[in-house]
């Protein structure tokens, strides 16, 4: 559904200062790339590597007839110009408003955190579908608002894609959207204009310090999702999470979750666990208990499940739908995904933060009969401080390490490896190999009966980013090629 915005509506929506003439006709189409003109309005954005305020003239030459910018117009400007404090926020608000704000007709659930977001989204979607609701979702891996499921452009798409997806969902009779929300999306206002009805923070640990600088800044950004909720809405958080002192969420229904801690509002009791999944009992408020079998292995997935169940119940979902949904929830590609091999067992996982790697290794360790092998690396152009920490975690919990390249981007891969190896204990059995393909081959060669190899860091990814080039690389395919004799 489209809606045209008048001059007065644009000023009101964006809290803008209007310069120059009024709009000759209402706004319906929006461009943020000067090469995407013509459009009714060009929104100039200050990016991390380019400031499109510099190409406003090109956008106007290309056919745009109005401008939204964070600065006043030049003295010779002859077009409608809307000066705003934050043009990223303005872009998002315009995208939703020109589609008649679809989330005003939808129930929207936001899920953020350091780890477990994509899995938690799919668990929630499965519960909603089990309750009979037609819903859409967006995760790091894929989006599905109007069907069929498509590959995601990244965690939390740009406002244009997100608004279009939500609009499609609403137009086809959808009732609920579940959105994975990244810290970057929160900081960059990508989700402005979305009316959220409930939210979940899965975990908080070290991640994106290259962007947020420290844990306090990272947490403060994550909590912005909760601040977007209306009065009385449910917000589910880890029991151990200490919220920033300057945050007042007293008007929300704050619910805590945990694994094993009976003092949380919702907690999980693990009865049996292994590579094939976990048998658990979930304890919810008012003495409600649910017994079920999760197909996703690992204590961290039990944590995801109880958090999602707690939020679903707070949103009025039946206990039966919660059980059915969690038991039927699909496994996520690249999340402890097994690759069939003739000797031992091999799993590919996305763990790329210290907390995620520790949770993965601590979960798997008790299930390994032989030796636990770990192949991992750290990404370039990202938080350098986590590299040594990940080396320490790996050497403490695995029997044998191969430290290799992840996505080195524009950094020297050997330098990244050396910084990671600095955290590895002297007693650890560890080697480093720059070439990830050869590292995987070496790891597979050393596997024995009862051994387990975890190939961590890239998970579902099917490329490796090296100096601006995205080269085909899928850990799962490399393993298969090794055993088929196709590896070069």
Average pLDDT per consecutive 10 residues, the chain (488 residues; last block may be shorter): 87 97 93 88 93 96 95 96 98 97 97 96 98 96 89 88 96 96 95 98 86 87 96 98 93 97 97 97 98 97 98 98 98 95 97 94 97 97 94 98 97 98 97 98 97 97 95 97 82
Give the per-residue pLDDT at 488: 56
Q: Distance between CA atoms of 191 and 196, rounded to whole angstroms?
A: 10
Q: Report which of 59, 61, 81, 62 is spatially closest to residue 71, judged by C-alpha positions.
A: 81
Between helix 319-328 and helix 299-314 the angle, nearest 10°, is 150
- The domains found in the chain, sorted by start residue, are 7-97 (3.40.1390.10), 102-328 (3.40.1190.10), 337-484 (3.90.190.20)
Q: Is the bond into 345 cis (omega within 30 degrees of 0)?
A: no
pTM across the whole model: 0.93
Question: Residue ranges of the alpha helices (H) in 262-407?
Answer: 299-314, 319-328, 354-364, 386-397
List Cα–Cα distances, 93 to 28, 175, 183, 194, in angstroms.
Answer: 13, 21, 19, 8
List Cα–Cα distances, 103 to 158, 170, 171, in angstroms.
Answer: 16, 8, 11
Give the per-residue pLDDT at 1: 63
Cα angle, residue 91 at apex, residues 86 and 95 outer, rounded to 5°: 150
Residue given tokens 């996982």 in the structure block: 349
């Amino acid at each position: 559904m489209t809606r045209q915005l008048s001059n007065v509506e644009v000023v009101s929506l964006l809290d803008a200062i209007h310069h120059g003439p009024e709009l000759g006709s209402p706004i319906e189409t929006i461009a943020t790339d000067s090469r995407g003109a013509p459009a009714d309005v060009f929104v100039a954005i200050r990016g991390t590597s380019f400031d499109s305020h510099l190409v406003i003239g090109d956008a106007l030459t290309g056919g745009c007839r109005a401008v939204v910018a964070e600065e006043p117009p030049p003295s010779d400007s002859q077009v409608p110009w809307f000066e705003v404090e934050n043009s990223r926020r303005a872009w998002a608000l315009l995208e939703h408003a020109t589609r008649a704000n679809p989330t005003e007709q939808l129930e929207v659930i936001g899920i953020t955190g350091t780890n477990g977001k994509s899995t938690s989204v799919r668990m929630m979607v499965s519960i909603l579908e089990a309750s009979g609701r037609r819903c859409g979702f967006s995760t790091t891996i894929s989006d599905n608002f109007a069907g069929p499921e498509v590959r995601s452009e990244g965690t939390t798409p740009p406002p244009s894609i997100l608004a279009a997806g939500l609009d499609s969902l609403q137009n086809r009779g959808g009732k609920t959207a579940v959105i994975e929300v990244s810290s970057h999306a929160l900081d960059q206002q990508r989700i402005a204009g979305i009316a959220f009805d409930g939210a979940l923070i899965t975990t908080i640990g070290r991640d994106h310090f290259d962007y947020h600088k420290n844990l306090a800044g990272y947490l403060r950004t994550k909590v912005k999702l909760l601040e977007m909720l209306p009065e009385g809405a449910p917000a589910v958080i880890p029991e151990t999470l200490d919220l920033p002192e300057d945050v007042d969420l007293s008007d929300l229904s704050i619910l805590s979750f945990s694994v094993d801690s009976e003092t949380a509002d919702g907690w999980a009791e693990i009865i049996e666990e292994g590579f094939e999944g976990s048998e658990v009992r979930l304890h919810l408020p008012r003495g409600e208990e649910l017994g079920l079998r999760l197909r996703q292995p690992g204590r961290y997935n039990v944590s995801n499940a109880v958090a999602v169940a707690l939020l679903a119940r707070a949103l009025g979902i039946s206990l039966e739908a919660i059980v059915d949904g969690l038991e039927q929830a699909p496994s996520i590609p690249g999340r402890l995904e097994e690759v069939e091999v003739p000797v031992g067992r091999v799993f590919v996982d996305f763990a790329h933060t210290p907390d995620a790697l520790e949770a993965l290794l601590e979960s798997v360790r008790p299930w390994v009969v032989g030796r636990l092998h770990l192949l991992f690396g750290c990404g370039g152009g990202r938080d350098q401080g986590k590299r040594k920490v990940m080396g320490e975690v790996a050497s403490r919990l695995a029997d044998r390490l191969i430290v290799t390249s992840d996505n080195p981007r524009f950094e020297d891969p050997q330098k990244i490896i050396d910084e990671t190896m600095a955290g590895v204990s002297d007693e650890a059995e560890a080697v480093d190999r720059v070439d990830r393909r050869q590292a995987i081959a070496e790891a597979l060669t050393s596997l024995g009966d009862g051994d387990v190899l975890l190939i961590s860091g890239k998970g579902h990814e099917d490329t490796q980013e090296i100096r601006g080039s995205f080269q085909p690389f899928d850990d799962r395919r490399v393993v298969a090629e090794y055993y088929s004799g196709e590896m070069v």
